[in-house]
Structure 1
């Protein structure tokens, strides 16, 4: 099972962009002033980031444990089936194969559900931090006369491809939140992926040339 990559900041960038693009100056005559911030850089230094990472890892571990348990149960039943296959009647064999196939499908469905659940958990954990970040971006923009603030997040698809350094308000936003800007590397983001485990190959009914024996 691949270890989840904690921050899906492409999502964060999309959420923040909707709000910041609308933060135009109330005075139509005010000169246009454009700023930008690296959402990934700021979030990585917020105190909340460590707790979010810890909570998400714990949730991921929980899902992984459940998936491994289901896979182990299937593995045990599969080995038992293989050991007794030679002495099984066709009817019993078909019933066991059907049971194994059903268990395997259940595991695959659980894995898909776990992936969605993990993504939802991630969004839930990130929302308070994103709301806080948006609020402070608005405060910094208003206090410093920025008409628009763009996202320069290098982890996703940046909306800003070139700009002067003085337009970067990332450190101002951190200071507004009481965080001392540091050299923390941006947290790399990627899709949240639930655990994967190796399960037995799909069980398919074997063709038996002999007829089912019945008691007379």
Structure 2
């Protein structure tokens, strides 16, 4: 009797496992699409980042450029005036500092772009993290298998658009997208004709 019971339990286990695997294999993939930059641009308070970036450039980068330029000029005049009295090792050290400052100023545009990008990433991080958290929550809740970037698709049904779902989770009211297909609306009912008086 025990052997029959063990065999029955084993068979039941195989049947359940086989059914689960078959269900997993027949579950269709769920597709969606999303536009991170668009949703990020709709975040409340995101417009402050532009003014903070301008302030950073005006108050940090521009003074740094001015300082580097003045230091280069000061080092150059000091080096020329004191080169005869200066020990060789100190002269080489000052000359190396001068070369580094000159190189930095020569490549200032590239340097300033890197600094500005790093600052922008720092300022955008809180907004980006909120959007990504909401996005991940929507994917998990909707059990999406694949999510594509909106701009990479030629055509996709509006039902696969994750933007409204993420916006709802974030509490963002989206503006009407002029490229979105118009929703079908029923014509407004005509007002009833006034009753005739006899």
What SS does the corresponding residue of 2:46 show, helix, strand or coil?
Answer: helix
Deviation for aligned residue 1:58:
2.4
CA distance in 2, matches of 1:49, 1:76: 42
Q: Is the 8 A contact 2:75 2:94 kept in 1?
A: no
Deviation for aligned residue 1:106:
0.8
Deviations 1:93-123 (A, max 9, x none): xxxxx97995464153363654443333232
The alpha-carbon distance between structure 1 residues 66 and 177, as it changes in their structure 2 partners (threshold 3 A), is same
**Paired position in structure 2 for 1:141:** 139
CA distance in 2, matches of 1:70, 1:137: 44
Q: Which sections of structure 2, spanning at least 5 residues, go unmatched?
A: 1-22, 86-92, 179-198
| Matching residue within 104, 107, 117 for 1:119 | 117
Q: Is the 8 A contact 1:44 1:184 kept in 2?
A: no
**Paired position in structure 2 for 1:60:** 57
Q: Is the 8 A contact 1:67 1:107 kept in 2?
A: no
CA distance in 1, matches of 2:122, 2:176: 27
Q: Is the 8 A contact 2:34 2:163 kept in 1?
A: yes
**TM-score of the superposition, structure 2-length normalised?**
0.53
CA distance in 2, matches of 1:52, 1:180: 20
| Matching residue within 179, 183, 207 for 2:172 | 179
CA distance in 1, matches of 2:176, 2:63: 35
The alpha-carbon distance between structure 1 residues 107 and 114, as it changes in their structure 2 partners (threshold 3 A), is farther
**Paired position in structure 2 for 1:43:** 40
What SS does the corresponding residue of 1:162 show, helix, strand or coil?
Answer: coil
Matched, 1:106 2:101: yes
Deviation for aligned residue 1:34:
0.6
**Paired position in structure 2 for 1:31:** 28
**Paired position in structure 2 for 1:161:** 153
Structure ID, larger Rg: 2
**TM-score of the superposition, structure 1-length normalised?**
0.50
Deviation for aligned residue 1:57:
2.8
RMSD, matched Cα: 4.0
What SS does the corresponding residue of 1:49 show, helix, strand or coil?
Answer: coil
What SS does the corresponding residue of 2:140 show, helix, strand or coil?
Answer: helix
Matched positions, count: 146
More helix by share: 2
